[in-house]
Chains A and B, each alone.
Chain A
Amino acid sequence: DTQMTQSPSSLSASVGDRVTITCRASHSITTYLNWYQQKPGKAPKLLIYAVSSLQSGVPSRFSGSGSGTDFTLTISSLQPEDFATYYCQQSKFTPQTFGQGTKVEV
């Protein structure tokens, strides 16, 4: 299986901070890398697909980059509604695996 490793597992940040979350795949997944946001008690929400494409309705402060095995989600200026858990996910290989999540806290 393709292992997806996110770092950090959690981070503390303040409103206005620039936040970067990294995701590493155990082997190349080309551009089949997606990012999701999940708030407590809610379903995940797609933020970024195919490494860097912003899902409709998602604020432009979210961006993604990377290729091959190393990927990054950046929040340029953290807003109060951005405190949540973020997951990367690969769809290149079956089973389609998620990272363990990164919890962004105050």
Chain B
Amino acid sequence: EVQLVESGGGLVQPGGSLRLSCAASGFTFSNYWMIWVRQAPGKGLEWMANIKEDGTEKYYVDSVKGRFTISRDNAENSLSLQMNSLRAEDTAVYYCARLLSGYSYGDAFDIWGQGTMVTVSS
């Protein structure tokens, strides 16, 4: 079964750090771009970051540049999001997802994890 499972969420104080993980199974992880998307409580979806199949290209939304780092370990079939200098506005459910790259696929996000909640509060 193709599956993504996030972990690592929790309660953290403003200015603190947290590392999210996403374990992939059921597909050849190293063949796919991967992404992180978040959703603040009661709000819409926000794309956060992309990482290329081999990890050589990474892209971020402006609001997290310099604070968040996306990475992957293809040997471990694992995706990570290191989050530093956390703010209250980073409070959200964080999803990892697989990206179907290419014109024919519209670079759609076809497989999603269940999400992990991050709460930034004192």
Residues of A near any B CB (own CB < 8 A): 31-34, 36, 38, 43-46, 49-51, 53, 55, 87, 89, 91-92, 94-101
Contacts and interface: CB of A to CB of B under 8 A. Distances in A.
A43 B95 contact: yes
A34 B113 contact: no
B45 interface: yes
Contacts, number: 73
Contact of B106 (A43, A51, A95): A51
A91 B107 CA distance: 6
A43 B115 contact: yes
B44 A100 contact: yes
28 contacts: A31-B103, A32-B103, A33-B106, A34-B106, A43-B115, A44-B95, A44-B109, A49-B100, A49-B105, A49-B106, A50-B104, A51-B106, A53-B105, A53-B106, A87-B44, A87-B45, A89-B109, A95-B47, A95-B59, A95-B61, A95-B62, A96-B35, A96-B47, A98-B44, A98-B45, A98-B46, A99-B44, A101-B44
Interface of A is mostly: loop
Interface size class of B (residues with CB under 8 A): 20 to 34
Nearest to A35: B108
B110 A89 contact: no
Given A87-B45, A98-B45, A100-B44, A34 B61 contact: no
Contacts of B47: 89, 95-98
A91 B115 CA distance: 21
A31 B59 contact: no
B99 to A, nearest CB: 8
B112 interface: yes
Contact of B110 (A51, A55, A100): A55
